[in-house]
């Protein structure tokens, strides 16, 4: 225990968003329950006894300082270990930078939420839309068991690769990389296959680059089968840069920019060595971890009836897709095919399965239109009325995608309602559920319609028996590029409780 003398909480040196200052105050109050806080000239001062371990868990503070010395937070040490300097917030510390999966969760927010919600080592957390595993990684850092679900097989693959990397450590991974790099120089996997996978990849890579990446893949699988998922994840993160696709576009478009001059194997080795060093520095801070987490390719709505859950969860944290979500499958189809996670002819069907997807297959559009007209899902009045408002707002010049917007949104609301019901059945009584989701908009017949996804999700959750504790607006980072007009500009933290 630290003595009851006054201590001052010091901020990190980088700029904060207003919501981060708000989360900082909340996590301090949650962790240091017996302390008395005062605000002096923009600084937070507290008095009262508290455990040093709890002070070190703070995320949005770099240290606690008294006349007896300084206690540095683990977060400060993790971000310093990432090597970005103290003037810039790092979101790629630990294994968070293993793959640049689109639509990532901010790890600082997750870690702060774990503190605010009172989750601790030995608890078990659910992330029903885990993406590339940010929540599960932060749980692993704190000794919290976790289960992540996602219908995108690449998301599950990346998540489990990150958890494996934390489990095996830097030295073993370094040995594997060295073995692969040396073996890849000896082998040669020629790109002369005629199967569907090879034909698809050949259409998006030049033959010499495809030779390199196929040779590397075969070498990794042959030489290091136990570490293969980590190394293949690192390699897959480079695929778009070396493909004939525009690497800056979320959709599938041919590139006009030149291909990288650096050979693929060299880029892989650099990325792998960077991962190893970051992992080494992270484990110096945290010590060797016993990771109890797993991601599974499962629909949350089927989880209560599955045999994989033998206990109830102590809480849930997630960032669900928003309506008409990012085109995840288009963005990742090269990795999905290269890793043999899906066949090329399965890509469109997989895309249509994902929650928030913009894709509808076959006669599903008419089926959904009939369901919307009858409100077959029995959605609350607010949501069904909004979907009908969009349907009535369609014009003759709206193309296929815009024509599908009302039924896609109806499908999204239906799925999220089912998800809220399913999660409530497998989470403990009074357990918390934190969601971060963004609003977006659509334009129909030349008129803009704002889709306030957070308020709709709150309404759907309340209809399924959850209680709302609060909604906290979050300021998002500026986004740039081809899709800036469609970027999420506001996000909301929704805090629910299982009543």
pLDDT in tens, 18-58: 999 999 999 999 999 888 888 877 788 988 878 899 999 99
Contact 331, 481 (CB under 8 A): no
pLDDT value for 192: 60
- Other C-beta atoms closer than 10 Å to the C-beta of 37 total 14
How do beta strands 145-149 and 124-127 pair?
Answer: parallel
Percentage with pLDDT > 90 across the chain: 71
pLDDT value for 478: 41
In sign, the C-alpha dihedral spanning 320, 27, 123, 96 is positive
CA-wise closest residue to 440 among 354, 353, 321:
321
pLDDT value for 104: 75
Contact 129, 325 (CB under 8 A): no
> In whole angstroms, how far apart are CA 87 and each of 17, 22, 84?
14, 20, 8
| Average pLDDT score over residue span 380-400 | 94
Which has the higher per-residue pLDDT, 87 or 62?
A: 62
Highest mean pLDDT among 1-5, 249-253, 255-259, 277-281: 277-281
Which has the higher per-residue pLDDT, 2 or 451?
A: 451
User: How far does CA 56 lie from the centroid of its chain?
Assistant: 25
Percentage with pLDDT > 70 across the chain: 93
- List the beta bridge partners of residue 251: none
HSE-up (13 A, CA, CB side) for residue 448: 6
Which tokens go with 222? 């042959």
Q: What angle do helix axes 364-374 and 400-426 make, rounded to 10 degrees?
A: 70
pLDDT value for 191: 57
Cα–Cα dist 480/186, whole Å: 42
């Amino acid at each position: 225990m630290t003595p009851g003398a006054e201590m001052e909480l010091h901020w990190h040196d980088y700029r904060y968003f207003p919501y981060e200052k708000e989360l900082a105050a909340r996590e301090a109050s949650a962790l240091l329950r017996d302390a008395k806080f005062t605000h002096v000239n923009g600084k937070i001062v507290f008095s009262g006894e508290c455990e040093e371990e709890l002070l070190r868990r703070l995320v949005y503070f770099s240290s606690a300082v008294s006349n007896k010395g300084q206690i540095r937070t683990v977060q400060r040490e993790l971000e310093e270990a990432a090597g970005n300097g103290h003037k810039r917030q790092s979101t790629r510390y630990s294994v968070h930078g293993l793959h640049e999966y689109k639509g990532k969760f901010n790890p600082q927010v997750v870690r702060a939420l774990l503190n605010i919600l009172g989750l601790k080592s030995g608890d078990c957390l659910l992330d029903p839309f885990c993406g590339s595993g940010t929540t599960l990684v932060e749980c692993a850092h704190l000794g919290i068991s976790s289960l992540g679900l996602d219908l995108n097989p690449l998301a599950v693959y990346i998540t489990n690769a990150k958890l494996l990397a934390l489990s095996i450590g830097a030295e073993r991974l370094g040995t594997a990389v060295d073995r692969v790099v040396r073996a890849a120089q000896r082998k040669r996997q020629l790109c002369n296959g005629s199967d569907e996978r090879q034909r698809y990849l050949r259409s998006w890579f030049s033959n010499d680059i495809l030779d390199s990446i196929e040779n590397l893949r075969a070498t990794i699988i042959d030489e290091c089968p136990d570490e293969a998922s980590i190394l293949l994840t690192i390699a897959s993160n480079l695929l778009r840069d070396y493909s004939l696709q525009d690497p800056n576009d979320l959709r599938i478009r041919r590139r006009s920019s030149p291909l990288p001059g650096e050979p693929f194997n060299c880029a892989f080795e650099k990325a792998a060595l960077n991962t190893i060093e970051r992992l080494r520095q992270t484990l110096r801070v945290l010590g060797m971890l016993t990771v109890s987490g797993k991601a599974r390719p499962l629909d949350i709505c089927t989880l209560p009836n599955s045999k994989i859950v033998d206990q109830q969860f102590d809480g849930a944290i997630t960032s669900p897709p928003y309506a008409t979500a990012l085109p995840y499958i288009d963005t990742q189809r090269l990795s999905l095919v290269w890793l043999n996670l899906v066949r090329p002819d399965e890509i469109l069907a997989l895309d249509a399965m994902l929650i928030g997807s913009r894709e509808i297959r076959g006669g599903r559009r008419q089926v959904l239109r009939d369901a919307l007209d009858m409100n077959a899902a029995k959605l609350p009045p607010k949501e069904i009325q909004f979907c009908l408002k969009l349907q009535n707002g369609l014009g003759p010049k709206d193309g296929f995608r815009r024509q599908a917007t009302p039924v896609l949104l109806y499908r999204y609301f239906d799925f999220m309602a089912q998800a809220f019901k399913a999660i409530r059945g497998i989470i403990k009584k009074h357990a918390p559920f934190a969601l971060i989701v963004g609003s977006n908009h659509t334009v129909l017949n030349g008129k803009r319609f704002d889709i306030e996804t957070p308020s709709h999700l709150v309404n759907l959750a309340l209809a399924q028996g959850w209680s709302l504790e609060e909604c906290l607006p979050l300021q998002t980072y500026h986004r740039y590029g081809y899709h800036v007009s469609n970027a999420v500009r506001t996000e909301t933290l929704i805090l629910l409780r299982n009543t």
